[in-house]
Chains A and B, each alone.
Chain A
Amino acid sequence: MTARAGAAIRIERLNKIYGDLKAVDDVSLDIAAGEFLTLLGSSGSGKTTTLMIVAGFALPDSGNVWIGDRPITQLPPERRGLGVVFQSYALFPHLDVKENIAFPLRMRRVQAAEIERKVARVLELVELGAFRDRRIGQLSGGQQQRVALARALVFEPPVLLMDEPLGALDRKLREQLQVEIKRIQRDLGVTVIYVTHDQEEALSMSDRIAIMAEGRILQTGTPDEVYEAPHSAYVADFLGESNFIRGQASETGLLARTDGDPRCMAAARATVAAGAEAVGIVRPEAIRLEADTRGLPNQITGEIELREFLGADLRLSVLTPVGALTVRTPRLGQHAGLLPGARVTLGWSAEDMALFPADKGGT
C-alpha cells in the first residue's frame, strides 16, 4: 500500500442529547493529520457517541465536524469515506475474507484486477495472506479483527475510526494487536481516532489522549502529560493508580487529616486556595521506602498490611495515620524483602504530590 498522508480532523462544539442525558457536551478537538488520538473514558462518558457522530451514524444536535477543510456533519456515512472498525468486528457473515475486504472496492466500482491486487496487498499488511478464502466463522477473534482492519483500510481512507477494537480479545492478543495497529498506522500515515476504556491501551498507543467523563473532555494531552500532570483528581484516579490524601489546603501544601493532629505536607502543584478542603495525590511508584526517604519533605511511617506480587513490581499496602497508601517497588530492588507486619517509613517529594479541590470526584 502506498504511503499517503492522513487528513486533519476538526471537531467543533459537538452536542448530543438523548432524553435528559447530555451524551456529548460541548466537545471540541483538533486532530492533526497522521495523529493517533484516543478518546479515553468509562462507559457512558460520551466517547463512543462522539466517534459515531464523526462516522455519521449519529447526528449531533449542534456542532460541526471537518475532515481536512471539508465539512461532513450532514453527510451520510457512505459519503464520508472514513474507515470504521467496530468492537464486534461487524464482518459480513455471508461473505468470505476476500469478499469482505473487497466490499468497499465493489461499492466504488473498482476494476476486478485492481480489486485482486489491493485485497492481496492489504491481506499482506495484516498478515492474513493464507486466509483469503476462509469463511468468517472459521476465524478466531483476533483474525476477525484483522480482517475488519483490512476492510477499513483497503479503500485508503484518510481517517480510521476505531471503537474499542480490541475489547473482545484476551490480554496477550490485545497487546500483540496494539503493536500491529500502531505499526500499520505509522506506515500508512492515516489519522486515527481510537476509543477505549482501557487506560494502558490508551497510554501505550496514543500520540494524544482526550479523557472524557459525562460527555465532556476533561483533559487533552500526550500520554506523559496527562499521566504526569493530571488537571483533576478524576483524571489522576482514572489514569493509572493514585493515592488520595485528604485534608485542607495550606500555604505550602496540605494539612492531611489523621485521627489526631493534622500532618503538614508539602505539595508543588496546587489548584486550591489555602483553607479549602483538598485532596493530595501521589502515584504509588513515586513513594520511596526506608533509607531512600532521607531528605524528602514528606515522611510518614506505617505498617505493611498487604504485599502483592505483580511480576516486575511488588505492590505494598501500608496503613499510615493519613490512611492506607499503596507503594510500588521493583521486585529486584532492595525493598523486595519487606513483609506484612513490618513497620516502614514512606516518603515523597513535594513535586510528586498534586493538590486538587476535594469536591471534584475521586475516591
Chain B
Amino acid sequence: MLSGAVVAVSVYLVLPTLAIIPISFSDTDFIIFPPQGFSLRWYETFFTQPAWRNAAITSFIVATLAAVLATVLGTLAALGLARLGQRLARGLGALFILPLIVPTIITAVAFYGTFSRLGMVGNVPGLVLAHTILALPFVVINVSAVMQKVDWRIVDAARSLGATPLQAFWKVTLPAIRPGVLAGAVFAFLTSFDEIVIALFISGARAVTLPVQMWSGIRFEISPVVAAASCLLLLMSCFMLTLYWLLRKDPVQ
C-alpha cells in the first residue's frame, strides 16, 4: 500500500518536469502536446539568439555572486549564532529564516521601492543583493545543522597542538562544517538561478535573467525554445546536485 503511494507521489512529482523534455525537441513553431517531429532547432535558437544567451549569462553571473556572498555571510552567521546564548540564538535564528517565510512578492515590492530610488533596478548588483538575502537561510540552516554534529573540542585540541585561532579555523573548523557549507552554496546558487518574482520586479530591461526571459518567451511567443531553456535549467540543477554529492563524499570517506 505505502510503497504504491511512494510510486504514485514520485510520478506526480516528476511527470510535469519530464513532459518538458519531448516538447523541447519538437519541430513545430508552437508548444503542442503531444509534440510532433524531432529537431534541435530550439536548442540552436537558445544558444544563438542574443536575448536567450545573454539571459543565461546574466543568470549565471548573478547566481554565482549571490551564492558566494550568501555562503560567506551565512557561514559566518551560523558560526556566530552558535556562540550566542541559547535564547538569543533561537531568536536570531528565527530572523534568519524570515526570507523563507515572508511571501516573496512582499520582499520583491520592498526591493523594488528601495532599489528604484537607489538606481539599482536593472543591474546585476541589485539582483545579487536581493538574491543573497533569499539564499541566506539555506546556508544558515545547512551549516547550523552540520554544526550540531561536530564535537567542538576539536577546536580546543587544535589550539593545544599549536594552532592559532585563525589556523584552527582554516584547518579544523572549516573542514568540519564543509558538508554544510557546500550544501548551502548549492542551494543558494539554485535559489538565485531559478528565482523569478524578485527578478521580474528589479531586473528591468538591462539585466534580464533566464527565468524572466522564459516568462516573456511564454507570454509573447509560446515557442518551444522555452521548453529547451527549461531542459537546460533542469540539467543545471542536476549538475549542481551531482557536484555537491561528489564534493561532499570525497574528503571524509
A280: CB under 8 A from chain B?
Answer: no
**How many residues of B are in contact with the other chain, CB < 8 A?**
22
The complex places the Cα of A137 from the Cα of B158 at a distance, in Å, of: 18
**A84:B156 contact, CB within 8 angstroms:** yes
B161: CB under 8 A from chain A?
Answer: yes
**A83:B160 contact, CB within 8 angstroms:** yes
**A86:B156 contact, CB within 8 angstroms:** yes
User: Which residues from 78 to 100 on chain A have a C-beta closer than 8 Å to any C-beta of chain B?
Assistant: 78, 80-84, 86, 88, 90-94
Q: Digit string of A157-171 for contact with B (CB within 8 Å is 1, else 0)?
A: 000000000000000
The complex places the Cα of A107 from the Cα of B167 at a distance, in Å, of: 9
Looking at the complex, which one of B153, B162, B253 makes contact with A78 (CB distance below 8 Å)?
B162
Q: B residues within 8 A CB of A103?
A: 158, 161, 163, 171
**A94:B178 contact, CB within 8 angstroms:** yes
Q: B residues within 8 A CB of A137?
A: 252-253
B172: CB under 8 A from chain A?
Answer: yes
Residue among B158, B161, B167 with the highest chain A CB neighbour number at 10 A: B161
The complex places the Cα of A108 from the Cα of B162 at a distance, in Å, of: 7
The complex places the Cα of A46 from the Cα of B133 at a distance, in Å, of: 45
**How many residues of A are in contact with the other chain, CB < 8 A?**
28
Q: Digit string of A125-152 for contact with B (CB within 8 Å is 1, else 0)?
A: 0000000000101000000000010011
**A92:B156 contact, CB within 8 angstroms:** no
Q: A residues within 8 A CB of B158?
A: 92, 103
Tell me how far the C-beta of A19 lies from the nearest C-beta in chain B, rounded to whole angstroms: 12
Residue of chain B at shortest CB distance from A101: B161
**A90:B151 contact, CB within 8 angstroms:** yes
**B154:A92 contact, CB within 8 angstroms:** yes
Tell me how far the C-beta of A138 lies from the nearest C-beta in chain B, rounded to whole angstroms: 10
Q: B residues within 8 A CB of A80?
A: 160
Q: A residues within 8 A CB of B139?
A: none
The complex places the Cα of A155 from the Cα of B252 at a distance, in Å, of: 25
Tell me how far the C-beta of B87 lies from the nearest C-beta in chain A, rounded to whole angstroms: 15
Q: Digit string of B150-193 for contact with A (CB within 8 Å is 1, else 0)?
A: 01011011111111110100011001101000000000000000
**A86:B167 contact, CB within 8 angstroms:** no
**B161:A155 contact, CB within 8 angstroms:** yes
Q: B residues within 8 A CB of A107?
A: 161-163, 167
The complex places the Cα of A90 from the Cα of B178 at a distance, in Å, of: 17
Tell me how far the C-beta of A279 lies from the nearest C-beta in chain B, rounded to whole angstroms: 41
User: Provided the pairs A82-B160, A103-B158 are in contact, do residues A88 and B172 lie with their beta carbons within 8 angstroms?
Assistant: no
**A84:B157 contact, CB within 8 angstroms:** yes
The complex places the Cα of A76 from the Cα of B160 at a distance, in Å, of: 9
| 5 nearest A-B residue pairs (beta carbon) | A107-B162, A104-B161, A90-B153, A90-B157, A84-B160
Q: Name 13 extra pairs, CB < 8 A, besides A151-B161, A152-B160.
A: A55-B160, A57-B159, A57-B160, A76-B159, A78-B160, A81-B162, A82-B160, A84-B160, A86-B153, A90-B153, A104-B161, A107-B162, A152-B161
9 A-B contact pairs sorted by A residue (CB < 8 Å): A57-B160, A77-B159, A78-B161, A84-B157, A93-B154, A94-B178, A94-B251, A94-B252, A148-B157
